[in-house]
Amino acid sequence: MPVTTELTTNASPFIPAPASPYQGDIARYWDQEARPVNLRLGDVDGLYHHHYGIGDVDHAALGDTADSEYEKKLIAELHRLESAQAEVLLDHLGTIGRADTLVDAGCGRGGSMVMAHQRFGCSVEGVTLSAKQADFANRRAHELGIEDHVRARVCNMLDMPFESGQAAASWNNESSMYVDLEDLFAEHSRVLRVGGRYVTITGCWNPRYGQPSKWVSQINAHFECNIHSRREYLRAMADNRLVPQAVIDLTAATTPYWQLRATSSLVTGIEEAFLNSYEDGSFQYLLIAADRV
Ligand SMILES: C[S@@+](CC[C@H](N)C(=O)[O-])C[C@H]1O[C@@H](n2cnc3c(N)ncnc32)[C@H](O)[C@@H]1O
Ligand SMILES: CC(C)=CCC/C(C)=C/COP(=O)(O)OP(=O)(O)O
Ligand SMILES: [Mg+2]
């Protein structure tokens, strides 16, 4: 059974000062985060995610709500949908060889990094502002015996410690709402080799709605983030040699996850804002895969 208690070992020897007071706040936020909806789902198989799920709910697997095992099955089902989300992101990275290096920008507790290594056999470098998260991710990699291929570091994704052109592919999984997109894509464009692939899964506000809705504002306040519009993503990519190959609206695919989560004992209070903003069209859950040209 994986260990989910807060980790105190393997502290990073050097933790850079935050690049801004805001980044200091975000580092503190994730250092302190220990929501059961994340830890108990991660405990299912040792992949710890900080993103949401996609796909249809398997009602047969859930069984009867009166069953004493129902809550355990519900947690496993939410986790299955979150891992399915990461699989879809990895599906869009293109052909990756064992000798390649991938970059996970805003890697959280490292679940997606582990999955990428297990799928491709390659090296995966992650960055997060949170020393607690980096320690957690590195501890999990050590427990799995893959610490020579999977590593998390405390650093700013806008200034990553990678050589220009080093990465075969890079991604942001629900982490791009913490930074300026022009700065972010300039940095991905720098670390990616020409012909490399960038993928993001993100929530963005819908320009067709007009402005960020009250639900989007509520999500921003809840997570201390700054959700961008779909238009900003496409414009900032175009400005930074990232040419979209796929833009996939995952809103319908993520709705069952939120509907199920809203019925669980692990609710955090943000479920209504996601469900309402997806429903009124003001918010979209999007995957964008782009080639570095
Ligand atoms: C919602 S979590 C997503 C974690 C992970 N991508 C996943 O799918 O599980 C957001 C992550 O973005 C990271 N983050 C936010 N701003 C960052 C920055 N400027 N540099 C590096 N990481 C950042 C946070 O530290 C956190 O790990
Ligand atoms: C799609 C958007 C707008 C995402 C914002 C970034 C974010 C906090 C993602 C989920 O993290 P989490 O897994 O820690 O959140 P929760 O505790 O709600 O599961
Ligand atoms: Mg979560």
Ligand 2 centroid vs 270 CA: distance in angstroms? 9
CA dihedral 134→139→142→148, nearest 10 degrees, is: 10
With 0.90 as the threshold, say if the pTM is over it: yes
- List, chain by chain if needed, residues with CB within 6 Å of any ligand 2 atom: 35, 37-38, 50-51, 174, 177, 203, 219, 223, 225, 227, 268, 270
pLDDT (0 to 100) of residue 4: 46
- 3 confidence band (pLDDT: 50, 70, 90): very low
Note whether ipTM > 0.95 here: yes
Find residue 171's DSSP bridge partners.
104, 199
* 126 in contact with ligand 1, CB cutoff 6 A: no
3-state helix, strand, coil in the chain (%, to 5): 40, 20, 40
Rounded Cα distance between 84 and 260, Å, is: 15
Model confidence at 255: pLDDT above 60:
yes
The tokens for 53 are 């799920």
H/E segment holding residue 171: strand 167-173
Rounded Cα distance between 238 and 124, Å, is: 26
Model confidence at 59: pLDDT above 80:
yes
What is the percent of the chain with per-residue pLDDT over 70, rounded to a whole number?
Answer: 96
Model confidence at 161: pLDDT above 70:
yes
Ligand 2 centroid vs 225 CA: distance in angstroms? 10
* Pocket mutation for ligand 2, best pick of 49, 50, 112, 285 (most atoms within 8 Å of C-beta): 50
pLDDT (0 to 100) of residue 14: 77
Model confidence at 64: pLDDT above 80:
yes
| Contact status, residue 263 vs residue 222, Cβ threshold 8 Å | no
Ligand nearest to the CA of 223: 2
Model confidence at 238: pLDDT above 80:
yes
pLDDT (0 to 100) of residue 122: 98
Atom of ligand 2 nearest to the CA of 33: 14
Ligand nearest to the CA of 81: 3
The DSSP output letter for 229 is B
Residue whose CA lies nearest to ligand 2 atom number 8: 223
pLDDT (0 to 100) of residue 13: 60
Model confidence at 76: pLDDT above 70:
yes
Tally of CA atoms within 13 A in the half-sphere of 50 that contains its CB? 22
Rounded Cα distance between 188 and 172, Å, is: 10
* Cα radius of gyration rounded to whole Å, the chain: 18
Q: Which of 255, 262, 265, 270 is nearest to 36 (CA)?
A: 265
| Average model confidence (pLDDT) across the chain | 95
* 26 in contact with ligand 1, CB cutoff 6 A: yes
pLDDT (0 to 100) of residue 206: 98
CATH code: domain 28-53+65-292 is 3.40.50.150
Mean local confidence (pLDDT), 61-67:
94
H/E segment holding residue 178: none
pLDDT (0 to 100) of residue 6: 44
Mean local confidence (pLDDT), 248-261:
98
Show contacts of 251-254: CB within 8 Å, 24+ apart: 251/278, 251/283, 251/284, 251/285, 251/286, 253/54, 253/55, 253/285, 254/52, 254/53, 254/54, 254/85, 254/278, 254/285
Ligand 2 centroid vs 29 CA: distance in angstroms? 12
- 15 confidence band (pLDDT: 50, 70, 90): confident
* Pocket mutation for ligand 1, best pick of 32, 128, 153, 176 (most atoms within 8 Å of C-beta): 128
Report how far apart, in Å, the C-alpha atoms of 276 and of each of 71, 217, 284 are: 25, 12, 11
pLDDT (0 to 100) of residue 5: 43
* 90 in contact with ligand 1, CB cutoff 6 A: no
Ligand 3 centroid vs 263 CA: distance in angstroms? 15
Report how far apart, in Å, the C-alpha atoms of 83 and of each of 80, 213, 250, 278 are: 5, 29, 15, 21
Mean local confidence (pLDDT), 264-268:
96
Mean local confidence (pLDDT), 190-201:
98
